[in-house]
Amino acid sequence: MQNFIRRTAAALAVLCMAVLLLGTPTGAERRTYPAGGEVVGYYAGWAAYQGWTPDQIPAEHLTQINYAFAQIDPDTLTIALENEAHDKKNLAALRKLRQQNDHLKLLISVGGWSDSKYFSDAASTAARRERFAASCVDFVTEQGLDGVDLDWEYPVSGGAAGTIHRPADRQNFTLLLRELRAQLDRQGRRDGKDYSLTIAGAAGGWYLNQIEAVQVAGIVDHIFLMGYDLHGPWDAYTDFNAPLYTPSGASPQSRGSIADSVRAYLDKGIPAEKIVLGMPLYGYAYQGVSSQNNGLYSTYTSAKSVSYKTLKKSYLSNTAYRQLRHGEAQVPYLYGNRTFVSYDDAASLAAKAALARAQGLGGIGLWELSQDDGGELTAAASSAFRSTWDNPFRDVAPGAWYEEAVQYVYEAGLMQGTSASAFSPSRTTTRGQIVTILHRLEGSPRAGRVPFTDVAADSYCAEAVAWAEQNAIVQGFGDGTFRPHRPITRQQLAAILLRYMEHRGADTSGRADLGRYSDHAAVAGYAREAMAWAASAGLIQGRSDGTLDPSGSATRAQTAVILRRLCALTGEA
């Protein structure tokens, strides 16, 4: 008896491992993916003047640091440093930081709001593009960096006063990136190294119309979506700097949100994994505002940017300011002393990071690191995006009902993703995939002819289906088909697992009362015993609305949960 129990437990453990095949019916080789997703922080050279030096950066929460900013020399149209001695000292300190955190990448960021004046000139001809790119590659290799970040604000139009623009910037930006990519790759082949190329882009559809968005995304490693400055001192009324969602109430000025900006990038055809959602470590304080609506949408007399470290020191600790939170926008704000302050805190950045995960984005980013001198916002955003476990799946958000199950099956080596960064929790599994798993558990025994008309002899699941039918584990449909590509329903999965366990000789005597579920009558006759057994074993539970949903699909998320419960029954979990 004990041998039998051990044999059954072992079989169930193998069943758990075999679920890896749910998304790969062709028997693809198992791959182990590293934890996915970038956490990018900009470090501004001027921060060192203020006493916040590179050694204070919370590197454990970051994967990439962009040093801001290098300029473009107007005479040579090549990369240049504003203060060479100061900047090189900072770069040396960043390299030392990387030695202590070997997961870090260091990139030089060129441009920014104040230093984008000559981008259009540098990109205007093939010769100029080649020369600028060569200067960037030389700088990267000389300074021991890992790549280049271009922050052109902005091609075609916009940006600071005096920025040079051309209608051809739209095409020339693509050509400039293509040249820089080619030269970085060429240098990488010499060095045996992969150099990164990234850009920063504005939060808005207007920006996407000024670049060849899809072509650009195909060249760069990622686009840092500057998810801030949706509103600011340039507006006529107070408003939120970076609302996660658009408030539903009336507004006296343009409306938008971070979620809208992400959607605009995705709708433009930019792959989610190429988008890094940037977040602000600062806010705006507006003075001379009305008390109506706690200062929101009020006219004002003056406004200024306020770092989070200043907010902590001068506002959040001051009882004269009332701390508020907008439920729809999901951002905090302050009102007091006729002052309205829009800012982000740990909770709002975590919510934005959760959106980035839910949308499958390539990462999150922060501007600018010295403004969060204690690193608390950086840690909150990074933890929310990367989760508390080594989670590579950007579509498994922290706190999701299936997160713990996915964590278990992933860390135990039982399931992998459908790609390097996606688990695809909503994707359904098929009848053919389930049967193939069980067949392999048996050592893939020869089974002879397939009895179903829609399973070809050379199908990946043909022998599995034949074996399962011969051992009464599966049944076909009345028209002689098996329908291997059909998503498997919850009741079909229960029936197949019950029959398989009976085939193995396991104890399957437990039965739950299906009458407690409001849709119990919808359970098909063939599956009633199986659903009662699965419910009794705790493998399949009712929905929150009190239903069993027997005809509902069995998703990868549900499968992970069921497997965790199944392994717990055998003492494996």
Q: Which of 38, 142, 153, 463 is catalytic?
A: 153
Tell me the CA distances in angstroms from 199 to 114, 137, 220, 445, one per residue in order.
16, 16, 7, 54
- Six token digits for residue 115: 């230093």
462 class by beta-carbon count within 10 Å (0-12 exposed, 13-18 middle, 19+ buried): buried
Exposure string for 212-247, b = 16+ CB within 10 A, e = fewer: bbeebbebbbbbbbbbbbbbbeebebbbbbbbbbbb
Q: What is the distance of C-alpha 307 from the center of its chain?
A: 26
User: Which H/E stretch holds residue 462?
Assistant: helix 462-470
Please tell me what DSSP assigns to residue 314. Answer: I
Distance CA 112, CA 69 (A): 7
Distance CA 534, CA 542 (A): 11
Q: What is the distance of C-alpha 257 from the center of its chain?
A: 18
User: Helix, strand, coil proportions of the chain in percent (round to 5)?
Assistant: 40, 15, 45
DSSP labels, 346-403: HHHHHHHHHHHHHTT-SEEEEE-GGGSTT-HHHHHHHHHHHTTTT---TTS-TT-TTH
User: Which H/E stretch holds residue 174?
Assistant: helix 169-191
Look up 153 and say whether it is catalytic. yes
Rg of the chain on CA atoms, in Å:
29
Q: Note whether 395 and 423 are within 8 A (CB).
A: yes
**Torsion sign (Cα): 407, 411, 412, 414:** positive
Of 49, 58, 135, 38, give the one whose Cα is nearest residue 90.
49
Of 403, 402, 346, give the one whose Cα is nearest residue 375.
346
Of 136, 75, 86, give the one whose Cα is nearest residue 111.
136
- Six token digits for residue 436: 């193939």
Distance CA 366, CA 39 (A): 8
Peptide bond into 340 cis (omega under 30): no
Work out the end-to-end distance of the chain between its first and last CA atoms, rounded to an integer number of angstroms: 22
Distance CA 227, CA 225 (A): 6
Tell me the CA distances in angstroms from 539 to 164, 173, 357, 402, 567, one per residue in order.
64, 55, 28, 14, 10
282: β partners: 307
- Which amino acids are annotated catalytic? 153
